[in-house]
A and B are shown apart, each in its own frame.
Chain A
Amino acid sequence: MCILCGEFIMQVHWTDYTDSTDTEITVGNQQRIRQRGRLHRANLCNQLLSHYRLTLEEWNGSKFILRDAKGNAEIVHDLGTVWHHVEAMLGYPIDPLDVSLLDKIAERNSAQ
């Protein structure tokens, strides 16, 4: 259960599993590492989402907020749901195998 929004979280997305095998974590322990990881994830997502003119913002170590240029915003829990929300916001499916997306990324890579 998320203590901030009351959402019932039944599933931990596979990308959120870490190397820690501890079954119990003291409050505040590893928060810095976790937060750094979340910011890194949002940063990487933004590099990709910039091709769709969307942004992802880390929010209070709890959620992510996905925004488009028109001011629409959506609360996103993890990487399992972010792509679903991206598609809903864009109105068309996204695919990492899309040739035009790959061309755009490659173009930007070579420009850097």
Chain B
Amino acid sequence: MKHHGKKAITIVTGCLGSGKTTLLQHILKEPSINNNTAVIVNEYGKIGLDHHLLRQAEERTILLKGGCICCNSRADLEEELKELLYEDESGEAPFERVVIETTGMADPSPILFTVLTNPLLQHRYIVDCVITTVDAKNGMLQLRNNPEIIKQITVADKIVLTKTDICSPEEHDAILTHIQSLNPSCVIILAVHGKVDPFIIQETSNVDRLKVIHSLPSPVTHTNSNVSSISFSFSQPLDWTAFGLWLSMLLHANGENIMRVKGMLDVGENGPVVLNGVQHIIHPPQHLEQWPSLNQESYLIFIVRDIDTALIERSLKTFQQFLHTVVKTCELSTIY
């Protein structure tokens, strides 16, 4: 079984009015999803969701001593997720997946932290996919005014570009270029009135992300740029222990500013290791049994804030003595 008996969690985030609820409404119309999915919302929006397993959670964050923003626990979610587990196990309302819809201003990383570090939840739930909705019409304006949206885009596995029917082709291209340069590894889906393939709430790992990185448009540079991304590809298998040493040290020192790390690494096993992290939080790395595509090249993407990407490159190349591999830089881009 893919998740080893754990319940999958899909997080849907995005700015106020970017179409999160409309998207969910459409997805929940699919009977096979509707029957076995529980939904947790932070706020009831103007558009109501009609669902048999709908819960509301008032956002309550427990601030941990000395913790940064990402390392905070969401007590409300913890309670709701435990409650749902109880209902599932008592046979009252069984489900296979939970969709968490956040508020427009929410930072999704505390949700990941809660699920991945809670002693009970980490064994019963797995964060499968993070979907961010971006309004194609007002996206550029929101990117300029709301720093949260940058975080929401960098954390996303999939981005649903909404309101594509009312935006001009220029607006469409501008926001698309920006999203791709902010998060080179994400999958972008276009939607009108929330109409998308309902199964996007499940993670698909067969996308050839290396191809996506190679086909990137030229980076957008802003004068006040502080978020940038860098991608690496590796031509030989690398030593997983040595790599873990380097990355854990990097995250210890700079975790708060490493907004996203994502990669598929050849560590000399039959399949690659899928690495996925947001700030200090690293998902348990998945060791796949085989490569999802024919292209067996390892890649690693960092999206960082206020860190010189050239230094990351230099550090990784210096540490390659430990890594026993040759590092190539794919793409070095400074954005927003």
Contact = CB atoms under 8 A, between A and B. Distances in A.
Interface of A: 10-15, 17-19, 21, 23, 37, 40-41, 44-45, 47-48, 79-80, 82-84, 93-97, 99, 102, 105-106, 109
B307 A97 contact: yes
A109 B241 contact: no
Contacts of A14: 244, 248, 277, 282-285
A47 B245 CA distance: 11
B192 interface: no
Given A17-B285, A84-B252, A40 B321 contact: no
A94 B249 contact: yes
Interface of A, secondary structure class, is: helix
Nearest to A78: B248
Contact of B117 (A11, A18, A47): A11
A41 B279 CA distance: 23
B287 A97 contact: no
B250 A41 contact: no
Nearest to A13: B248
Q: What 9 A-B pairs come out closest when comparing CB atoms?
A: A15-B244, A19-B287, A83-B252, A95-B253, A14-B282, A79-B248, A97-B311, A102-B318, A96-B249
B318 A109 contact: yes
B315 A97 contact: yes
Contact of B253 (A13, A18, A93): A93
A10 to B, nearest CB: 5
Given A83-B252, A93-B253, A102-B314, A10 B321 contact: no
A97 B241 contact: no
Contacts, number: 82
Interface of B, secondary structure class, is: helix
A35 B269 CA distance: 19
B153 to A, nearest CB: 24
B212 interface: no
Contacts of A106: 318
Contacts of A13: 248
Contact of A21 (B4, B239, B250, B277): B4
Contacts of A44: 239, 241-242, 245, 322
Interface string B257-283: 000000000000100010001000011
Nearest to B252: A83
Interface residues of B, number: 34
Given A44-B242, A79-B248, A97 B253 contact: yes
Given A19-B269, A102-B318, 8 more contacts: A11-B122, A13-B248, A18-B287, A21-B4, A44-B241, A45-B245, A80-B248, A105-B321
Interface in B232-254: 239, 241-242, 244-246, 248-250, 252-254
A26 B269 CA distance: 23
B248 A83 contact: yes
A15 B252 contact: no
B307 to A, nearest CB: 7
B271 to A, nearest CB: 8
6 contacts: A14-B277, A17-B284, A19-B287, A41-B244, A79-B244, A105-B319
A105 B253 CA distance: 18
A44 B242 CA distance: 7
B169 interface: no
B141 interface: no
Given A14-B284, A97-B315, A83 B4 contact: no
B248 A95 contact: no
A81 to B, nearest CB: 9
Interface string B308-321: 10011011001101
A57 to B, nearest CB: 16
